C-alpha cells in the first residue's frame, strides 16, 4: 500500500509545486536514500535492473530516490530537471507474463534517469513497458507478491497520472492536483492510451483486493485535505497529510491510514517505511524533505541536500545494523509502537519544535548547491532527530507496554527475526 500526491501552483497558492509520497512496504524492508549523480555511458552499455538487463542510454540525469534496499529501482524520487515521480501498486485482473521484465520501481527510476520533463518521463515508461513488459517479484520476503503500477509524474508545470496493466497504459493530464492510492482512477477519461478508443480502463481492476487495500478511503482523505486547503498549501500541510490516521490508535481495521502501521501478517501487513516531500521552485530550485525511516507520525521530515546527503541514510539490508540510519530509527519506531499512546505526544512535541525550525530556515536551493550553512542545517536535522529519538527511548524504559494481540505477537516476531533491539 502507498499514497502519492502532486499539487500544482493553483492549489499551493504560490509559484511552488509540491510532490509527496508514503512508501508502504514489508515492515523489515529497510528503505535507503540514494543521491545518484548524472553520468555518461559508452555505446552498447548494458544496465542491470532488478530482474533483467536492458540497454543503457548515452547519459542519465542526477536524481534522489528512496528505495527498498534490495531493488535496483525506487519507490519515489526527483531528478535534477525537476521531475518527481511516485508509484502505486495496482491490483488488476490482468496476469503477469511468465518471462521476467521490469517492475514498477525500475520503471520509476529509469524515467527519472532519462526524462527531462514530466511528458518525456511518462513516455520513457510507456516505451519500456512496450519493449520489456512489467513482471517480477515486488516483495522482499514475499516473492509471490507482484502487481501492476500507477504513477504520478510531475514537474514544475504539469501533473500526469499514468496507469498500467501488463504492457497497456492510460495517461491523463491533470489540472492542479492529483492523488493516487492503490486503485485505478482512470476510466474512459484518458488523454492517451495503448487501448482502443472508449475503453474503460477501470474495468481491469480486481475489486476485492483493491477494497481490502483501502485505497478509495485513503485517496479520499488526501483529496479532502487538498481541496479544503486550496490556495494555501505548504510542505507542512503535506507532512500532515502523510501523517494522517483514520483514528488516534493506528493499525486497526482495514488499510485506511495514510500513515500506515502494520499489525498482522494477513490484512495489515504493510508499514510506511519511508516518506518524501519535494518542493519544485521556479529558477530550477528545490527543497527536498525525507523521514529516513518508518512512520512519519513518530519522526520529523528532515531537509536533504542532493550534493551532500547525510551519512548512513544510504545504508540498509535485511537485518538490523547500527551503521544504518533506517535501522537505528527502527529500534525507536518498534519500541514506540509498544507504547504508542504514551509516546505519540512526545513525538508530536519533538516534531513540532524541530520540523518548523528547519522548514523556516531552509531557502530553496539549486540541485548542486554545496552551501556550507545549508549542508550543516540538513545534517544537524538528522542528528537532532536521532538524538531526540534516543532520549524518548530512555523515557520508554519507565512506560508500560500497551500492545494488544495480535499486534504484539506480530511485532515481537519482527524484532526477533530482524535483530532489532527493543526497550
Dist CA 28 CA 69 (whole Å):
11
Is the pLDDT reported for residue 405 higher than 90? no
> 26 or 404, which is more confident?
26
| Average pLDDT of the residues in 144-156 | 94
Burial 246-272 (b: 16+ CB within 10 A, else e): beeebbeeebbbbbbbbbeeeebbbbb
Mean pLDDT of 371-397: 97
Residues in the chain: 423
CATH number of residue 128's parent domain = 3.60.60.10
What pLDDT is recorded for position 253?
A: 64
Place of cell 541536500: 305
- Model pLDDT for residues 236-251, shown as the tens digit of each residue: 999 999 999 987 667 6
> Which pLDDT score, from 0 to 100, does residue 214 have?
86
Domain count, the chain: 1
When comparing pLDDT for 414 and 230, which is higher?
230
In this prediction, residue 408 carries a pLDDT of 82
Q: Where residue 406 falls among pLDDT bands split at 50, 70, 90?
A: low
- 163 within a domain of the structure (yes/no): yes
Active site residue 2: yes
Q: Which tens digits make up the pLDDT trace of 112-144? A: 999 999 999 999 999 999 999 999 989 898 888
Is pLDDT above 70 for 94? yes
For residue 1, name the pLDDT band (cuts at 50, 70, 90).
confident
pLDDT at 404 over 90: no
Is 382 in contact with 293 (CB distance < 8 Å)? no
User: Are the C-beta atoms of residues 234 and 12 closer than 8 Å to each other?
Assistant: yes
Mean pLDDT throughout 282-310?
A: 97
Separation between Cα atoms, residue 182 and residue 322, nearest integer Å: 33
**68 located within any domain:** yes
Does the residue 423 lie in any domain?
no
Whether the model clears a pTM of 0.85, i.e. scores above it, the answer is yes
Contact call for residues 169 and 131 (beta carbons, < 8 A) = no
Residue 314's domain spans which residues?
A: 2-418
Higher pLDDT among residues 410 and 296, named by residue:
296
pLDDT reading at 266 higher than 80: no
Catalytic residue among 2, 138, 259, 297: 2
> What is d(CA 101, CA 255) in angstroms, rounded to the nearest whole number?
29
Per-residue pLDDT tens over the stretch 315-327: 999 999 999 999 9
**Taking residues 246-258, what's their average pLDDT?**
78
pLDDT at site 52:
97
Compute φ and ψ for 86, nearest 5 degrees: -135, 145
Amino acid at each position: 500500500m502507498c499514497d502519492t500526491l502532486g499539487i500544482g501552483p493553483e492549489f499551493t497558492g504560490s509559484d511552488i509545486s509540491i510532490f509527496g509520497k508514503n512508501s508502504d512496504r514489508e515492515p523489515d524492508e529497510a528503505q535507503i536514500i540514494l543521491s545518484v549523480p548524472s553520468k555518461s555511458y559508452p555505446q552498447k552499455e548494458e544496465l542491470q535492473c532488478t530482474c533483467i538487463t536492458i540497454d543503457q542510454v548515452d547519459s542519465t540525469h542526477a536524481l534522489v530516490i528512496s528505495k527498498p534496499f534490495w531493488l535496483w529501482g525506487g519507490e519515489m524520487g526527483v531528478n535534477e530537471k525537476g521531475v518527481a515521480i511516485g508509484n502505486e501498486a495496482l491490483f488488476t485482473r490482468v496476469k503477469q507474463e511468465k518471462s521476467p521484465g521490469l517492475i514498477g520501481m525500475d520503471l520509476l527510476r529509469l524515467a527519472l534517469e532519462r526524462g527531462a520533463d514530466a511528458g518525456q518521463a511518462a513516455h520513457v515508461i510507456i516505451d519500456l513497458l512496450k519493449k520489456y513488459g512489467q513482471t517480477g517479484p515486488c516483495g522482499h520476503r514475499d516473492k509471490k507478491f507482484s502487481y501492476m503500477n500507477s504513477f504520478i509524474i510531475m514537474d514544475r508545470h504539469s501533473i500526469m497520472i499514468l496507469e498500467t496493466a501488463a504492457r497497456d497504459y492510460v495517461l491523463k493530464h491533470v489540472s492542479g492536483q492529483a492523488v493516487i492510492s492503490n486503485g485505478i482512477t482512470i476510466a474512459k477519461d484518458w488523454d492517451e492510451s495503448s487501448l482502443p478508443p472508449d475503453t474503460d480502463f477501470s474495468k481491469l481492476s480486481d475489486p476485492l483486493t483493491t477494497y481490502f487495500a483501502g485505497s478509495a478511503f485513503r485517496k479520499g482523505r488526501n483529496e479532502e485535505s487538498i481541496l479544503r486547503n486550496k490556495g494555501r498549501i505548504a510542505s507542512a500541510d503535506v507532512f500532515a497529510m502523510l501523517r494522517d490516521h483514520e483514528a488516534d490508535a493506528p493499525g486497526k481495521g482495514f488499510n485506511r491510514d495514510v500513515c500506515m502501521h502494520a499489525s498482522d501478517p494477513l490484512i495489515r501487513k504493510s508499514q510506511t517505511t519511508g516518506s518524501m516531500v519535494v518542493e519544485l521552485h521556479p529558477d530550477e530550485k528545490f527543497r527536498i524533505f525525507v523521514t529516513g525511516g518508518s512512520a512519519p507520525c513518530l519522526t520529523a521530515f528532515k531537509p536533504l541536500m542532493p550534493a551532500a546527503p547525510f551519512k548512513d541514510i544510504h545504508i540498509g539490508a535485511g537485518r538490523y545494523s547500527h551503521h544504518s540510519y533506517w535501522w537505528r530509527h527502527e529500534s525507536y519506531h518498534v519500541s514506540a509502537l509498544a507504547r504508542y499512546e504514551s509516546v505519540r505526544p512526545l513525538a508530536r512535541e519533538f516534531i513540532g519544535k524541530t520540523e518548523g525550525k528547519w522548514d523556516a530556515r531552509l531557502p530553496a536551493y539549486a540541485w548542486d548547491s554545496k552551501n556550507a550553512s545549508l549542508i550543516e542545517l540538513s545534517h544537524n536535522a538528522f542528528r537532532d532527530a536521532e538524538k531526540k529519538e534516543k532520549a524518548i527511548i530512555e523515557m520508554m524504559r519507565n512506560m508500560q507496554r500497551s500492545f494488544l494481540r495480535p499486534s504484539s505477537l506480530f511485532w515481537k516476531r519482527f524484532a526477533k527475526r530482524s535483530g532489532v533491539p527493543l526497550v
